[in-house]
């Protein structure tokens, strides 16, 4: 999940290509960071890894945006606090889901959040078809099996709800605050929430050097790098193209989960992930 920026139309094919490379790098960095962070779960727990990730994200965002807090109105602070709450929940829910059901399935279910926002209120037949296709994919992923972990799936769906809330809150903040000031402030407040959580986890789960290295790497690759890449990419591509490339995140998550975490998906699960990605991409491509 990345912050919102104002996209500008690409001027040339070369510019578009640069944007696609940056977006692809952002998505790959995000999922690689999540996979590396998962390597530290046994030592630091998902909460400990999320705490370190949130601290790194807060430092990176606040340093690059430098929000003017004294100029915030009471209404703007309410939106910022709501977004901070979303930030505090979404990554903890997602990483806890990754720990239980794997990276590919967790990220795929999380992507139902932005897809739901895109489809909400639409009466177009193509959007209804996309909703049915995505629903079929979810039904396949959540079908009862001896190994089905419904708590893990529920956590991933909670992350999806949070992502939908993030999109709506970020839109509201974007209309009232310039740049990413609101998002950066919310991320900073979320980082503060994780201070006692992180201290408690680190006190009861003594960190090792490799585990800390994995958690810090996750923070850099899943927060700082995507933020910078997305900010640069949106100078070269349109918002729909950006969304299409980002919709490939579930596939990248499943691939990095396989390569880094040795998490294998069966053919049916790959088909369900493909269906959800296809539904998201079709929704974007057919927008007017």
Mean predicted lDDT score pLDDT of the chain: 85
How far is residue 78 from each of residues 70, 85, 155, 268, measured CA to CA in Å?
14, 11, 26, 44
Q: pLDDT tens-digit profile of 174-220?
A: 777 877 788 889 989 999 999 999 999 988 998 999 999 999 999 99
How far is residue 151 from each of residues 27, 36, 91, 99, 204, measured CA to CA in Å?
26, 23, 16, 11, 24
Q: pLDDT tens-digit profile of 67-81?
A: 888 888 888 899 999
- Residue 6 forms part of a structural domain: no
- Residue 266 forms part of a structural domain: yes
Q: Would the pLDDT of 6 be above 60? A: no
pLDDT at 9: 47
- Residue 11 forms part of a structural domain: no
Q: pLDDT tens-digit profile of 127-173?
A: 788 888 888 888 888 887 777 899 999 999 999 999 888 888 877 88
Q: What angle do CA 252, 244, 4 make, to 5 degrees?
A: 95
Range of the domain at 107: 23-285
Q: Would the pLDDT of 239 be above 80? A: no
- Residue 133 forms part of a structural domain: yes
Cα–Cα distance for residue pair 127/137, rounded to 1 Å: 15
Question: Is the Cβ–Cβ distance between 53 and 242 less than 8 Å?
Answer: no
Q: Would the pLDDT of 265 be above 60? A: yes
Question: Is the Cβ–Cβ distance between 260 and 32 less than 8 Å?
Answer: yes
- Residue 32 forms part of a structural domain: yes
- Residue 101 forms part of a structural domain: yes
How far is residue 136 from each of residues 39, 98, 131, 213, 276, measured CA to CA in Å?
31, 22, 9, 39, 8
- Residue 34 — pLDDT band, cuts 50, 70, 90? very high
- Residue 155 forms part of a structural domain: yes
Domain tally, the chain: 1
pLDDT at 245: 76
- Residue 12 forms part of a structural domain: no
Q: Would the pLDDT of 44 be above 90? A: yes
Token digits for 114?
Answer: 């932005």
């Amino acid at each position: 999940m990345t912050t919102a920026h104002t996209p500008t139309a690409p001027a040339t094919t070369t510019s578009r290509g640069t944007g696609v490379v940056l977006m692809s790098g952002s998505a790959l960095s995000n999922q690689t960071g999540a996979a590396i962070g998962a390597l530290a779960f046994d030592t630091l727990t998902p909460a400990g890894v999320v705490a370190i990730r949130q601290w790194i994200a807060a430092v990176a965002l606040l340093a690059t945006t430098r929000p003017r807090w004294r100029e915030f109105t009471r209404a703007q602070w309410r939106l910022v606090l709501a977004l901070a709450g979303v930030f505090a929940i979404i990554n903890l829910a997602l990483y806890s889901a990754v720990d239980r059901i794997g990276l590919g399935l967790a990220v795929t279910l999380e992507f139902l959040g932005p897809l739901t926002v895109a489809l909400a209120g639409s009466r177009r037949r193509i959007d209804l078809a996309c909703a049915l296709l995505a629903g079929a994919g979810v039904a396949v992923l959540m079908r009862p099996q001896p190994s089905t972990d419904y708590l893990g799936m529920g956590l991933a769906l909670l992350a999806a709800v949070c992502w939908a809330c993030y999109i709506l809150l970020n839109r509201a903040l974007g209309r009232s605050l310039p740049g990413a000031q609101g998002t950066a402030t919310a991320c900073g407040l979320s980082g503060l929430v994780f201070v006692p959580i992180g201290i408690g986890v680190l006190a009861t789960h003594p960190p090792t050097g490799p585990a800390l290295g994995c958690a810090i790497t996750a923070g850099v690759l899943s927060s700082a790098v995507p933020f910078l890449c997305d900010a640069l990419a949106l100078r070269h591509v349109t918002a729909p193209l950006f969304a299409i490339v980002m919709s490939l995140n579930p596939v990248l998550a499943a691939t990095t989960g396989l390569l880094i975490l040795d998490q294998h998906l069966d053919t049916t699960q790959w088909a369900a992930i493909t269906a959800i990605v296809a539904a998201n991409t079709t929704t974007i491509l057919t927008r007017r």
